[in-house]
Every structure is written in structure tokens, then in C-alpha cells.
Amino acid sequence: MTARQIHVGECSDSAITRMELLGFQNITKVEEALISQKLDRLTYLPLTENIENAVIGLRQARKIKLPDAIIAATALCLGLELLTLDQHILSVVNSSAKLS
């Protein structure tokens, strides 16, 4: 894998990303403000019916958690590169992209 510089203008987030980052029970106001400030710089990707249908298909075809399926389906439906350290989500995206 080749390292490349990623610009914030190229990055997006979804409702799932926001909920996972801000949904901790003991998050401090400082942490919440910092995370919100970073998320505000990204392009927000809302759930669409097309993404919902792709999530259903992914979950019917394999064992995958709902949040992971939403993230994978969003990348697949919008033709976006998924940047994550989660190898399971990457394998879902990579194997599904090959089927398209």
C-alpha cells in the first residue's frame, strides 16, 4: 500500500460515524466540541433508500453488524474509497465491489 496525503475536503462522514464518535456515555464537553469541530469539516453523507437497500442486501448475504453494514453500503453505493482500520468492513467492501 502506498502512502498518500489525504485532504479534509476529500473526506466524508455519515450519521453512523457521528453517533459512534459522540455517543459515549462519559464523553466530556471538551471532547464533544473537538469531535464536532472535526466532523463539521467533512462532507455529511445522509442515508438514502439506495443505501438502505444495500445494507439489507449485505446483512442478508453475510454476518455484519448494522453500523458496519451502513458504512460499507454507503461507500459502495457512492463509489467512495473507505478509509478504515477495520479489516472486516474493508473485506466486505472489497469483496462486494468485485461483484459489481
Encode pLDDT of 22-62 as tens digits: 999 999 999 999 999 999 999 999 999 999 999 999 999 99
How many beta carbons lie within 10 A of that of residue 31, not counting itself? 13
Residue 3 pLDDT grade (very low, low, confident, very high; cuts 50, 70, 90): confident
Contacts of 50 (CB under 8 A, 6+ apart): 77
Q: To which CATH superfamily is domain 8-99 assigned?
A: 5'-nuclease (3.40.50.1010)
Q: How far does Cα 76 stand from its chain's mean position?
A: 10
Pairwise CA distance, residues 33 & 39, whole Å = 10
What pTM was computed for the model? 0.84
Pairwise CA distance, residues 14 & 22, whole Å = 12
**Cα distances (Å, whole numbers) of residue 100 to 67, 76, 77, 81:** 22, 9, 10, 15
